[in-house]
Amino acid sequence: MKNKLFIIVLLVLFSFVGSSAFSQNVYVKLGGGYGLSLASQEMYDAGVSPAHDYKYGSYGEGIDFGLGFGYNVNSNIAFEVAGSYTLGKKYENTFTLLGGSITDKNYANTICIMPSVIVKAPLKDITPYTRFGMVLGIPTKFEEVTSTAVTGTLKYKETGGLAMGIQGAVGINFKAGKHLGIFAEVFGIGMNYAPGTKENTETYTGGTLDPTITYQENWTPAAGDNTAEKPRYSFSSFGMNVGLTYTFGK
């Protein structure tokens, strides 16, 4: 479902560009970068009892790739819609339990749609700008558990629902040709996510898959009802993106 939504959005954006391809006000951008953790949460305890060694981070940290389309209202204002895909950092914890070594990995991959307003101050060959707007995220969170005591991998996937937040950036676009530009920006995203379900997609050799868990905000524990308290995960990040812009027109 999330992939279909992303494809539909891209088709709409391509249609928009196609209908405006002869207008010098329309541009396309392509880039990527890396986001670090912001507004982090506890990921795991790396300590050995009774000592504790808490590790923190955000599921928004990782490598991101972006594609965007914009319209220059004038030399100082533009409207933009961008899509991005983030390959999240894997948080890995290894510990010993019941005589076996267990490795627990948690990470998330996220599709984001970001409508923005761009405020620019064009100079001769460079254009400083600031960008701000909202972000709509479609995350998928994964957990993978392996153990030296058994074969195979225990895998979970958490999906359902949307993440919403705010995003912004400051950057500079360098003129590299009549239509071509090179941009570099520092960005920030504030977003969290509450999934709707947790599905056991794979289990240890010879094991049986766990039933799918439905998360609830108003939760009353009951034996065998396959429900649980709805968690909230941080998907906030800050980092740097670089890429190219191409402005259509004569």
**What pLDDT is recorded for position 56?**
95
CATH number of the CATH domain containing 106: 2.40.160.20
Query: Residue 25, SS3?
Result: coil
**What pLDDT is recorded for position 20?**
44
Give yes or no for a contact between 189 and 110, defined as CB atoms under 8 angstroms apart: no
Tokens standing for 249?
A: 């027109």
Cα 62 to chain centroid, rounded: 8
Give 173-187 pLDDT, tens digit per residue. Answer: 999 988 999 999 999
Give yes or no for a contact between 111 and 6, defined as CB atoms under 8 angstroms apart: yes
Give yes or no for a contact between 233 and 141, defined as CB atoms under 8 angstroms apart: yes
Distance CA 186, CA 222 (A): 47
Distance CA 18, CA 209 (A): 48
Q: What is the pTM of this model?
A: 0.86
Distance CA 108, CA 45 (A): 19
If one counts the domains in the chain, the total is: 1
Q: How far is CA 188 from CA 69, 90, 119, 181, in A?
A: 19, 20, 16, 22
Least confident stretch, 18-27, 165-174, 226-235? 18-27
**What pLDDT is recorded for position 21?**
46
Phi and psi based region of residue 104 (left: phi greater than 0; alpha: psi -120 to 50; beta: remaining): beta
Give yes or no for a contact between 88 and 59, defined as CB atoms under 8 angstroms apart: yes
Query: Residue 226, SS3?
Result: coil
Q: Which domain holds residue 16?
A: 2-247
Give 29-64 pLDDT, tens digit per residue. Answer: 999 999 999 999 999 988 877 888 999 999 999 999
Q: Side chain identity at 118, as an amino acid letter?
A: I
Does 95 have pLDDT greater than 90?
no
Please report which confidence band the pLDDT of residue 224 belongs to, taking 50, 70 and 90 as the band edges: confident
Please report which confidence band the pLDDT of residue 3 belongs to, taking 50, 70 and 90 as the band edges: low
Q: How far is CA 182 from CA 64, 112, 124, 129, 236, in A?
A: 17, 22, 14, 13, 26
